[in-house]
Amino acid sequence: MSLSNNFLIDNFPSSSTLNWNPISGNWIIINGEYQTNGILEAITQASNFSAKDIVFECDLKLGLTGDAGISIRSTTGNNGYFITFRPGNNDIQVYDLPNLLAYANNAGIAANDWKHIRIIMSGNNLLVYYDDMNIPKIKLNDNIYTGSGGLFLRSWENQTSYRMVKMYELNNFFSDTNDKQLLTKWIPYKGEMFDIISERIYASGGTHLSIANMDNIDDFILDAGIRFDSNDGCGFMLRTNDATLEDGYYVDFSPANSRIYIYELYGGNGVVNPEAINITISKYEFHHVRIICYKEDILVYFDNMLTPIITATCTTVLSGRIGIRSYGAECYFDNFTIKEFDPIHVVKTYVLRYNPTFSQSVIPSEAKGKKFIEYYQFNDPKRISYDYITSIMEATDFKVYYRIINWADVNAFPPFTNNWITEQKYLDDFPKDGNTQNQNDYWFDYQEIINSADLINLVNSHEIDEVWTWFEGRPSAFSEAAMVGEDTFDINGIEIPIMGARRFAIMGMDYYFIDSSPHPFNHRIDKTMSHYYGRNIYNDYPNPISLPIDYSVLNNLEKLILSYGNLGYEVINNSAAIIGIGSTHLPPQNSRLEYEQWDINRFVLSNFAYWKNFGNIHYNINTTDVINCDTWVVDPNLKEVAFQRFWLSCIPKALDAGVDEFGIDKDWWKYILLEVN
């Protein structure tokens, strides 16, 4: 039995009705069944469950008289959509209470017998299944109730029993952990049917193609395990509309060739994206695969869930079904989840990567004819950009997606305010050995960048929302986060006021500090929220703070960043001090040493879970956990980046939760992404 705000499984193992709030009638739990006695009306509500688009499933046993069913998108149980099953009339009816919307006659509604039901509500579309999970009894399109609401079980003069109840938001609507009924979730289209071995999907060679038993889906996140027991390829069909033709996209994993690639099949354009090569695809062990599809974007992750191994732009097919495919491979698939990907905040991003080619006349000779990134041996900024995007997606529970609309590779140095900068001067001032000089000669000419790329028109027309510039950070060349437009403020960089321009950020992405890519973004957050809370945490914040902490003098940003650094040394061993998540420079368990001790192993009391779940009534500021660096450090080589990602994950992101006591929306991303004034 488990319960959260968007997921509930209840097998009624005891007499406790913790997951339910009876409103009328008599409800009892007996032998794993939730029953009502059939006297007049009985209504019970799923506790703390509210959703707009959901899947509900259960086994249902009806008495002879009356009717019973489920209300969704409801606030009282007497509004929203009511799906009712009537054994006496052998039909199913759907109401937008109190009005009848649709019905299915001769529906085979049984009395005194267990039948499985499934109800799917997605947008304006409602599907009702009874007994047969392949063909819905009712398909309905209606727009009366379009918002979120609760879920209620209802019975009218019917002795009703519910068991094996499961409900979850529709963005989790396909999940296959490969139980004994596994293959009922897959429809074979070509070749042999997959087998089940050790509760896993298995292909023994030959041809296999099966499609998940689900409707077409546009944007989604697929997670699965895959194991290779031969050198032949297998993988995933995406956005297929005619599985008999194997159309759509195919992500293929080839152990023999150590490569992964994306095909567009049948009538398409062949390989969509250059393959990922020299990939270690070891056999006889499971690998974690994640595929994210959003609009034209396809991101493929393999084992490392922070860095996509392939990114592709696929414009031909934008919707379809999902399948698994094997040609000659002996392989296993396991632990499928397919979630609808519907980010709340989509940031259309323009990337400018400055990567000049050195001429043949420069000194040293090893730079001649080489690209800037090649000569200085920087890592691939495209890969790091997608690390950055992934970090933000995961930190926000996939509510925020930075979508790269245009990637511009500029074969030149960025424009500098000192226009006498030459390539030779740059090589002289910034040799590869790190002995730099004249750093202050270099500063981006932001106005020229804005004008040359026509950024104001692109932003005002909503073609883009934000700009990232990639260059080397050894010179004092750029701001980590500059703001352009009307009514600008400090987000950790210069301000460029331009009348009539919609506000936007220009992020300075540094080739040198790529392993800490969330760091500048986290500074942007603390500066942005300092502006909206009206107090600069770097100048106006009381530091150190004495015990006991007087929360009344702190706003929510100040409460969030509490660390031992701003409590002072004297409380390091004081177990009464409840701290937050620290700041961008100071982990919560640190002292006053900025940029250091990301992995210090001091145990502290932190209310980080309160901030991660901000707006959830089950958490308060005194909800604490004992934490240390193990809370975030997984890879010892990425201590700071691990902390920055942890910090980012704690930024409040509650949806439709109203404002805090300071009048600030509990979804801080509205402010961070400049969606509000």
Question: For residue range 2-14, what is the model confidence (pLDDT) as tens digits?
Answer: 333 456 778 887 7
Q: Are 7 and 172 in contact (CB under 8 A)?
A: yes
pLDDT top residue among 64 and 434: 64
Q: Is 36 left (phi over 0), alpha (psi -120 to 50) or beta?
A: beta
CATH number for region 175-340:
2.60.120.560
Give the pairing type, strands 248-254 and 259-265: antiparallel
- Does pLDDT of 591 surpass 60? no
- Does pLDDT of 546 surpass 70? no
Query: What is the average per-residue pLDDT within 575-581?
Result: 72
**Of the ranges 229-243, 261-275, 305-319, 549-563, which one carries the lowest mean pLDDT score?**
261-275
pLDDT top residue among 315 and 547: 315
Q: How far apart are CA 501 and CA 487, in angstroms?
A: 10
**Tens-digit pLDDT profile for residues 331-365:** 999 888 888 899 999 999 999 999 999 999 999 99
- The reported pLDDT for the residue numbered 636 is 63
CATH number for region 2-170:
2.60.120.560
The two domains 2-170 and 175-340 share their CATH topology (first three levels equal): yes
**Coil, helix or strand at residue 245:** helix
Confidence band for 210, pLDDT divided at 50, 70 and 90: confident
Percent of the chain with pLDDT over 90: 51
- Does pLDDT of 644 surpass 80? yes
Q: How far apart are CA 54 and CA 50, in angstroms?
A: 9
Single-letter code of the amino acid located at 428:
D
| Sheet with strand 91-96: strands edge to edge | 20-24, 41-46, 150-156, 67-74, 81-86, 91-96, 99-104
- The reported pLDDT for the residue numbered 172 is 40
**Tens-digit pLDDT profile for residues 375-389:** 999 888 888 899 999
- The reported pLDDT for the residue numbered 1 is 34
- Does pLDDT of 242 surpass 50? yes
**Of the ranges 366-370, 399-403, 554-558, 575-579, which one carries the lowest mean pLDDT score?**
575-579
Query: What is the average per-residue pLDDT within 112-116?
Result: 93
Q: Is the N-terminal amide bond of 98 cis, ω within 30° of 0?
A: yes
**Of the ranges 9-13, 16-20, 544-548, which one carries the lowest mean pLDDT score?**
544-548
Structure tokens at 534: 């009206």
User: How far from the centroid of its chain's Cα atoms is residue 335's Cα?
Assistant: 18
For 336, the enclosing helix (H) or strand (E) is strand 330-340
- The reported pLDDT for the residue numbered 6 is 57
DSSP code at position 665: B
Q: Where are the domains of the chain?
A: 2-170, 175-340, 345-516, 526-677
Q: How far is CA 673 from CA 395, 465, 487, 530, in A?
A: 15, 9, 15, 14
Please report where in the chains the tokens 């650094």 appear, as a residue: 565
